[in-house]
Structure 1
Amino acid sequence: MTFQPAEWPRKLRSQHWYGGNSRDTIYHRGWLKNQGYPHDLFDGRPVIGILNTWSELTPCNGSHVKELVEKVKAGVWEAGGFPVEVPVFSASENTYRPTAMMFRNLAALAVEETIRGQPIDGCVLMVGCDKTTPSLMMGAASVDLPAIVVTGGPMLNGYFQGERVGSGTHLWKFSEDVKAGKMTQEEFLEAEQSMSRSTGTCNTMGTASSMASMAEALGMALSGNAAIPAVDSRRRVMAQLSGRRIVQMVKDDLKPSDVMTKQAFENAIRTNAAIGGSTNAVIHLLAMAGRCGVDLTLEDWDRCGRDIPTIVNLMPSGKYLMEEFFYAGGLPVVLKRLGEAGVLHREALTVSGGAIWDEVKDAVNHNDDVILPAEKALTQSGGIVVLKGNLAPGGAVLKPSAATPSLLQHKGRAVVFEDIDDYKARINDDALDIDETCIMVMKNCGPKGYPGMAEVGNMGLPPKVLKKGITDMVRISDARMSGTAYGTVILHTSPEAAAGGPLAVVRSGDMIEVDVANRRLHLDIPEAELTERLSAWTPTHEQPKSGYAWLHQQHVMGADTGADLDFLQGCRGNDVGRDSH
C-alpha cells in the first residue's frame, strides 16, 4: 500500500526531513536508504519511532521487550506506517547507583530531545520498570507528539516451599526473617531464584505494576495493557495492536495533551487507591502533570484517594500477585468498579480514540478474592495519605493499606539516623537505645540529599526488636520506599533535610506524633525552639562540583512537586527547528 501526502489532513512532520528533492531532503533520505529501505517508504507515510528501553542491565526491560518491538513493528507496517526502532536511556532500579531516581529526569530529557530532534510523527513508548515508564511518558508529554505506551508486563508468580513469593516484597520479608532467626541464610539464597522466575517486571503491585496501571488509567495505553504477564502470548498481541493504533493516532493528531488532562490524572489517583498502588506513583504523576501543564498537587492525591476502598488483593498489601490479577480481569475491572461507584470521569479520552468508560463497561471479574467486593476491601480508606504539620510543612505521604492499623495514631520517641550510612552503622547494634514504641527517623535521603531520593525509607527494624516478634514500627524519612515494600512508613517528608526542612533538626529523644486520621505529623517541641534549631542549621553534605550530579543538585525540585528538574517543567512542543545542512 502506497500512501500519498494528500491522504493526510496535514503535512506530516517527517516530511520536513524526507519530502521533496532538495539537497537537504536527499541528505536526510539518502543516508537512511543505506539500511535498504525502498524509496516509496518516504512518500508521506507516517514515521513511527519505537522508543526502546531494552537493556541487558535493566532486567525488567530485558529480552521480552526486545521481542515485543518486533510485534509493534508488524502492527505499524500493517497500518501503513514506517516503523523505526530507537534506543533510549534505560535507568534500572536494580543496578543504577546512587539510585535510578536520580536519572529519571535525565532519561526524560534524553527522550524528549530524541523525539523532537528526529523525523518522528508518532511514538510507541516501550517501557517496563518503575523508572522507564514515567521517564518516557514525561519526555513524550514535553514534546506532545502522538504517543502510546506498551509495557513489557510482569513476571510469573514465584513459589518457595509451597508459598507464593512476590518479587521485592519477599526480599524484605525474608531479610527480616534472617535477622530474626526465623530463616537461615542458606534458605534465603535458595529462595532468591524463585523471586524472579521469568522475564518481566516485579510481580507484586510494586512501582512497575503501579505505573503500568497508571498509564492505562491515564488513557495512555490500550485497555488491558497493564497486567498481561511478560511471557503470555497476549502481551505480544497487545504490542501488535498498539503498533496499528499509533498510525491512526498520527492521522487523527491525538496527542498526550488530549489524553493526560486533569480528569485523567484524577482517574489515575483513584485507581492507585483501588489497586493499593505504590507511593512512588505520587512523585511520578506529579512530575508528568508538570510536563503537561496540569495543576496537580499533593492535596489532589488526598482529596481523590482517601475514600476509595483498596479492592485489589495483591502483595504487598494483600496475598496475590499480578498473574492472578490478570486472570481475574485486570485493570478494566477496577476501572469499571470506579465508574459504577461514580468516582471515574467516564468521558476521559484514551489512546483508543474513545472514552475510558466505553473501554471498560463490559469488563467481567473472574475472581472476587483477587478483585474484592467493596464491602470486603483490604481497607475502606485506601489511597495515599498526605500528612502535614511542623515536621512536614510541604507534606509527607503514607500508604495505609501497607501499614499496621494500630500505628496509624502513635506518639513515640525519635531515634534519629543522620543518613543511610549512619543507619547502616548503628541499626544492628544491640546497644542502640530503641524499642518498638520508638519512631525511627532518617534524614538526608531526599532528592538533593541522597542525592536522588533512594528507596531506603522502609528501614529494616533493629534485630533486638525483630527477635521480640515485632514486625513493624513507625518510620519517617525524606526518602522513597519500593512499591514492593510494606509497613507504617512515612515518606517524602518535605522540605527535605538537605534543603533545610524541619526534618533536618530532629534530635534523638524528641517526641513525634503521628495522627493519620487527622492528617497530622507533629514534632513535639516549642515553636521557638524549632525556629532556633532551623536558624542554626547548616548543610552537612558535600555538594557535587560537576557533571550531571551537579546539574541535578542545582535544579531538582522537592518531592511534593514531583522531584523534576525545574527547567524541564511544561511542554516545549515539537517544532522541527532549522535544518543545518
Structure 2
Amino acid sequence: MTRKKPADLRSARWFAPDDLRSMGHRSRAMQMGLDRADWDGKPVIAVINTWSDLSPCHHHLRDRAEQVKRGVWQAGGMPVEMPVHSFSEQFLKPTSMLYRNMGALEAEETLRAHPIDGAVLLGGCDKSTPALVMGAVSMGLPFIFLPAGAMLRGNYAGEKLGSGTDVWKYWDERRAGTISKEQWDGVQGGIARSYGTCMTMGTASTMMSIAEAWGLTLPGASAIPAPDAGHKRMAAACGRRIVEMVWEDLTPGKVMTRASTRNAVTVAMATGCSTNAIIHLIAMARRAGIPLTLDDLDAIGRTTPVIANIRPSGKDYLMEDFFYAGGLPALMKELSDKLDLGVLTVSGRTLGENIASAVNYNPDVIRTLDNPVYHEGSLAVLKGNLAPDGAVIKPAAMDPRFQVHAGPAIVADSYPELKTIITDPDYPMTPDHVLILRNAGPQGGPGMPEWGMIPMPQALLNQGHRDMVRLSDARMSGTSYGACVLHVAPEAFVGGPLALVETGDIIELDVPNRSLNLRVPEAELARRRAAWTPPAPRYARGYGWMFSRHIEQADKGCDFDFLGSEFGAPVREPDIF
C-alpha cells in the first residue's frame, strides 16, 4: 500500500504554502495557542461531536471527545473538535427525522470547508448515526464512527426494564388500570439509569450495529455500554487508528461496497433491527453510490433469521447482556456463512480477520442459526394497491395471529383525531378493525414522526386486548412492538392511495405473501382520487420550506433529492483556494 506523504495531506493546502493566505491560517492557529509543531506534517483530524445538554444519549460525548483527541495526539496527529447538530430524540420537535438530512449536510460541509484530513464521528442516538455517515461518505475523507453506546439496564422492583419497550408496555397497563401511579412513577425513575442510548435493540442500537457490520467502526465498538471504561479506551483507539487511515488513504469508498452493504443488511436482520433501519440503510447506501431497494432488503430478510434475543423482538435480554455475550463480533461469527468475510474494514483488516477470535459466551442471548428467535429476518416489506412503493412491518414483534388479517378501517387524518379515537373508552371497535393514521409521512408529518406506534385504544385495553393491526405512513420507535404497518409509500399527504381510504373499507394484510391491499373497486378509487384535494403546505419559509420541496419518499430513504450521489460531483477542491 502506498502511503501518503506530508505534502499530500489535504490540510497542507491551508498550512504549508509560503504565501499570504497560508500565513493567515498559521497565525490564527497560533492565536489559539498552537504552534508549527502541532500541524506541520501531521494529519488534522476532526472530532465531529453531537454532544448537547439536551441529548441524554450523548451526554458523555464531551468526555469521549477528549479521549479521541488523546489517541490522535498519541499517533502523531492534530485533533480539532467540531460540533454539529445533536439529534436529541427525546426533546427535538416535531421529530428528529426532520433534521437528519440537515445534520448530514452540516457534517459534509464542515469537513469540506475546513483543513481536515480525516474524522472520528461521535454519535449513536437514532438519526445521528445515519446523518454523520451520510455526510462523511459524501465528503469522502477517511473516517471512523465511534458509537455512543447503550445505557445500563433499567431496573424497578427487581425487574429488568428496557427503554422504550417497557414504557409502551407499562403505559398500556397504566391506562388499563392494572398498575398504580406509584408503580408508574417507579418505572419512570428506573428505566434510564445512565447516559447512553436506549439499551433495547431500538433504532440507536440498530444503527450502531449496522455501522460496525458495514466496517465503519473498530471491532466490538457498537455494543460497549456507554459508562463502561472500555468505551473510553475504544475512543482513544479510534483516535489512534484514524491517523493511520489518513496515511493509508483508506477512504469510505474502499469500505462501503456492495458486499459490505449486503453484510450490513444481513446483520441488521439478524439483530431484530428497528423498522427505521430500512430508511437509513437505503439513504446511506445511496450516498455511497450503491443502489439498495426495498426488494433487496426483503430478499435478505427472508433468508436471515433473528438470532439476537434482545427486546423488543427477543424476550429476555438487553444490550448490556449482548455485550457480555460477545457483542456484534460474536453474532457475526454465528452468522459468518451468510457474510462476505473478505471485505475491508476501517481497522485495516478484513471482516473475517476482525471476528476470527470472537466467542459467543451466551448462546441464549446470541442464538445459533439452528435455534433462532424468529425464523426470518426482523423486517418484511409489503406491497399492494395500498402501498405500491412499499410498506414495512416487524413480524417478529407482533401477535402472530395478525400476520394474515382482513378487517374494516378506522381512519384518522391527524394525530389529534387519532388521540380522540384511542382515548374514548366507548369507541365502537373490535380487535379485527385496522386503525389508520395518515398525513404523517415525510411531508405530511412533517418529517415522518414516530407516530406509527399507535397506542392501543382504551376501548380494547379495557377488554383485555394488547395488539391489533395499525397502519400509517409514519415511522415508529425502534423500541416499539405490535402489528404496526409503517412507511406506507407514497404517503397520503402527496396523494398516495392511503389518502383514498375511508372508514369501513376492508384492509387486507398478508405478511407471509408480503401484500397490503385495499378491497375497494378500482372505479371507486378513481372517483375518490378525482375528488381528492391536496392539503396546504406545512411550511411557508426556512428549512421546513426547503425540506418539503426536496424530501424523497420512504422507499428512497427520505434523503434530499439534491444530495444523492447521482445528483452530481462535489466542488473540485483545488478550485476553492
Q: After superposition, where does 1:94-113 map in structure 2 within 5 Å?
A: 94-113=90-109
Shift of 1:535: 2.4
CA offsets, 1:7-32, max 9 Å, x none?
A: 71761100110112211001111101
Match of 1:42 in 2: 39
SS in 2 for 1:89: coil
Secondary structure in 1 matching 2:391: strand
Equivalent in 39, 44, 51 of residue 54 of structure 1: 51
Which one of the candidate residues 508, 524, 539 is aligned to 1:529?
A: 524
- Structure 1 pair 574/29, CA: closer, same or farther in 2 (3 Å)? farther
User: How far apart are the structure 1 equivalents of 2:4 and 2:444?
Assistant: 54
The aligned residue for residue 454 of structure 1 is 449
CA contact (8 A) 1:206 1:483 kept: yes
Instruction: Write out aligned runs for 1:127-206 (5 A).
Output: 127-206=123-202
Q: What amino acid is aligned across from residue 523 of structure 2 in structure 1?
A: A
The answer for the alignment partner of 2:573 in structure 1 is 576
Aligned to 1:409: 404
Name the structure 2 match of 1:384: 379
Deviations 1:201-226 (A, max 9, x none): 00100100000001000100011001
Superimposed CA distance per residue, residues 528-574 of structure 1 (whole angstroms, 9 cap, x where no aligned partner): 21222122211234431100010000110000010011111117457
- AA aligned opposite 1:538: T
Aligned amino acid, residue 72 of structure 2: V
Cα separation, 1, equivalents of 2:159 and 2:401? 27
Aligned AA for 2:149?
Answer: G
Counterpart contact for 1:145–1:574, Cα < 8 Å: no
Of 360, 364, 388, the residue aligned with 2:359 is 364
- State the Cα deviation string for residues 409-437 of structure 1 (Å, max 9, x = none): 11111111112121012221134221111
SS at match of 1:376: coil
Aligned AA for 2:306?
T
* 8 Å contact from structure 2 (residues 334, 368) kept in 1: no
2:71 and 2:240 in contact (8 A); partners too: yes
Q: Is the 8 A contact 1:391 1:502 kept in 2?
A: yes
Of 430-439 and 154-163, the range deviating more from structure 2: 430-439
Give the TM-score normalised by the residue count of structure 2: 0.97
Deviation at 1:579, TM superposition (A): 5.5
Among 327, 333, 348, the alignment partner of 1:336 is 333
Q: Counterparts of 2:115 and 2:93 in 1: how far apart (Å)?
A: 33
Residue 85, structure 1, aligned to residue 109, structure 2: no
CA contact (8 A) 2:6 2:41 kept: no
* Deviation per residue, 1:261-311 (Å, 9 max, x gap): 111111111111111011111111111112111111111100112221111
Percent identity, aligned pairs only, is 47
Partner of 2:392: 397
Q: Structure 1, residues 456-497: CA drift from partner, whole Å, max 9, x if none?
A: 101001111012221111111000010000011110000000
Instruction: Check 1:160–1:168 CA distance in 2 against 1; reply closer, same or farther (3 A cut).
Output: same
Secondary structure of residue in 2 paired with 1:375: coil
Post-superposition shift, 1:152? Answer: 1.3
Matched with 1:278 is 274
Over 3 Å counting, the alpha-carbon distance change for 1:171 and 1:572 in structure 2 is: farther
1:578 deviates by: 4.7
> Which amino acid is the alignment partner of residue 226 of structure 1?
S
What is residue 422 of structure 2 aligned with on the other side? 427
1:377 Cα shift?
1.4
Contact 1:75 1:241 in 2 (8 A): yes
Q: Secondary structure at the match of 1:492?
A: coil
Aligned counterpart, 1:555:
550
How far, CA to CA, are the matches of 1:548 and 1:214 in structure 2?
Answer: 29
**Conserved in 2, the CA contact under 8 Å of 1:443 and 1:477?**
yes
Output the CA distance in 1 between the equivalents of 2:253 and 2:540: 37
CA shift at 1:381, angstroms? 0.9
> How is 1:63-78 mapped onto 2 (pairs within 5 angstroms)?
64-78=60-74
The answer for the alignment partner of 1:3 in structure 2 is none
**d(CA) in 2 for partners of 1:432, 1:262:** 50
CA distance in 2 between counterparts of 1:434 and 1:176 reads 17
Where do residues 157-306 of structure 1 align in structure 2 (5 Å cutoff)?
Answer: 157-306=153-302
C-alpha deviation, 1:575, in angstroms: 4.1
Count of equivalent residues:
572
Q: TM-score scaled to structure 1, two decimals?
A: 0.96
Residue 157 to residue 391, structure 1, CA distance change in 2 (3 Å): same
Match of 1:475 in 2: 470
Q: Is the 8 A contact 1:143 1:574 kept in 2?
A: no
Q: Deviations over 1:331-367 (max 9, x none)?
A: 001111221xx21011111101121111112210111
Give me the whole-angstrom Cα distance separating, in 2, the residues matched to 1:19 and 1:482.
49
Q: 1:254 to 1:68 in 2, by over 3 A?
A: same
Deviation at 1:376, TM superposition (A): 2.6
> Which digits, 9 at most, give the CA deviation of each residue in 1:34-89, with x for residues without a partner?
12112122212100000011101111111x11111111111111111111111111
Question: Does residue 1:347 correspond to 2:313, yes or no?
Answer: no
Provide the aligned C-alpha RMSD in A.
1.4
Whether 1:485 and 2:480 are equivalent positions in the alignment is yes
Q: 1:306 to 1:7 in 2, by over 3 A?
A: closer
Q: 2: distance between equivalents of 1:354 and 1:39?
A: 33
